[in-house]
Structure 1
């Protein structure tokens, strides 16, 4: 066991892709994602990260971070099959550290959240025995793209999109995201500076994030995407203010992403959606041709500090 360093990013990425192959049948983790996680300003690598080795081979990885400033703590945990004692030791460490961080925030308990594939390499019975429980399910949806089938769409009347090339528009996008996503499960308010750190702004292609202006309402929606996954283009967020919903804006933003990436030569696009989302996002995406690729559960542990 030892903490991770920035120099371990490639080895961690390789481990996660090995797990991906077992869980979803293909490598789905990009090096930039791991680098962003390890550089997160709310992670103290010496105390919030752990690498598990079997001899010289990296077989497990865990990371913990705190975006709430309160009781809510997030964690990642990956381990190869056949490593149950090591996997449980990683949980001992991250659960204890989560209690420390929640206590430092003045909270009386730590509420940990962890995302796991619905058929993970981890022993779920062992997880349940530790007190973890499933609290939410997310679907990763995907859709085939082609330049012929997905031309750039015509916007609804009074709607225009602009990319976030200017700092002013990036701040507008952040403000819209904070307002539109506030009722979503597990939403944590973020300042602009925290948000740009979360998304690894230095490596972000801002031309792939758009703000939607609606005549009579002003700026009312954000489409955030990125093009750094080998397997598919990715839609990170479709966020529409409550006052602008039921106008076809969400569907237009989807098809804008479809057309944009089809024109770039991408043949597949995906996104993740909370299956209990009260805004009806799952049904919207399915109506526009997206279908289940794989599913992920949010697991929760409540621990007194």
Structure 2
């Protein structure tokens, strides 16, 4: 069932501070915590992944807790007040609660292991809180790690989570030549791509937003771990991203005689450059209706996004794809010059809401 925004956000599940080391404290995240949380996340990414990609403004957007889908944060500080751990729960959709768990990589195992167990126990309890608000009997605790991060994997296994899926984080370089006429083959004669239309006030036309939502919901119905989102949930979540831009949303249509019907949709965002480097584009969603497949709709949408990135002076386009996608998406992206930058994993636990 969808969230009922007429009632207050349920309080996060409590965490027993007696389970923390002496003098350590736990509290909800506040907007002023963004800077130390960014430092913590950067250190985690450097150790687990080899480089840091998350910008301060992205952390600020998460900590801001905008109205919309439920988010719960816990920040753990040591006896000196230094941030040592951060856990975030996001009620992504009915029956799915997404956990982000970050611990200071400098913590020794004898401190980190029991702290991770405490936070994972809290996440299970909070998933139950969110599941009750949704009115579901069982909810999925969904979290992830960088492939090869054995410490995080050990924590998940100890908490009963299992590795559910592998994701390729792919990127393609973009050059000015990609913006030139003829850089890509002409699309199928029936395929047209246009941006989401804008009203006189600059906001997208509601009909087009509904079209994008409906196309993606139908296109991803048979994809791994799909959970239906309402239009409100979908739009609120995407608007939380500081890289969100309405002019990065496209609709593909099929023109068959006098009839024009939706065929696919692409939702993109800005991927900010670090340390003065150019921005990139990031493809949040690309979906094609089954009835429109086989006419190069996905390819045309990708060509459109790459051309747009080149026109804006960007140097790359990134995306995430299911390593085991049955649609052949990995082969499509590879054929267009995308290569795997790094690999992540999804880990899941089914949580009885009243268990």
- TM-score norm. by structure 1 comes to 0.89
Give distance in 2, aligned partners of 1:238 and 1:189.
Answer: 16
225, 245, 250: which one pairs with 1:210? 250
Asked if the contact 1:159–1:212 (Cα under 8 Å) also holds between the matched residues in 2, the reply is yes
| Secondary structure, aligned partner of 2:115 | helix
Cα displacement string for residues 211-239 of structure 1 (whole angstroms, at most 9, x for unaligned residues): 11111251111111111432632111111
Aligned mates of 2:317, 2:156 — CA distance in 1: 32
The runs of 4+ residues in structure 1 deviating greater than 6 Å are none
Long gaps (5+) in structure 2 = 1-25, 199-203, 275-279
Q: 2: distance between equivalents of 1:24 and 1:96?
A: 29
Contact persistence 1:50–1:62 (CA under 8 A): yes
Alignment of 1:79-228 (within 5 A): 79-81=103-105, 82=107, 83-120=112-149, 122-149=151-178, 151=180, 153=184, 154-164=186-196, 165=198, 166-167=204-205, 168-200=207-239, 204-216=244-256, 218-228=261-271
Aligned-residue CA RMSD in angstroms? 2.3
Equivalence for 2:337: 289
- Structure 2 Cα separation of the partners of residues 297 and 40 of structure 1: 29
* 6-15 vs 170-179, which moves further: 6-15
Structure 1: where are the runs of 5+ without partners? none
Contact 2:69 2:237 in 1 (8 A): no
State the alpha-carbon separation in 2 of the partners of residues 150 and 144 from structure 1. 13
Cross-structure match for 1:229:
272
Q: Does the 8 Å contact 2:87/2:102 carry over to 1?
A: yes
- Please name the residue that 2:310 is paired with: 262
TM-score (ref. length: structure 2): 0.77
Single out whichever of 78-87 and 28-37 deviates more from structure 2.
Answer: 28-37
Using the alignment, how far apart are the partners of 1:13 and 1:243 within structure 2? Answer: 44
Partners of 1:197 and 1:234 lie apart in 2 by: 18
**C-alpha contact 1:80 1:121 (8 A) present in aligned 2:** no
Q: State the shift of 1:149 in Å.
A: 4.7
Summarize the Cα distance change of 1:218–1:106 in structure 2 as closer, same or farther, 3 Å threshold.
closer
For the structure 1 residues 162 and 64, does the alpha-carbon distance in structure 2 shift closer, same or farther, using more than 3 Å as the test?
same
Q: Using the alignment, how far apart are the partners of 1:199 and 1:35 within structure 2?
A: 15
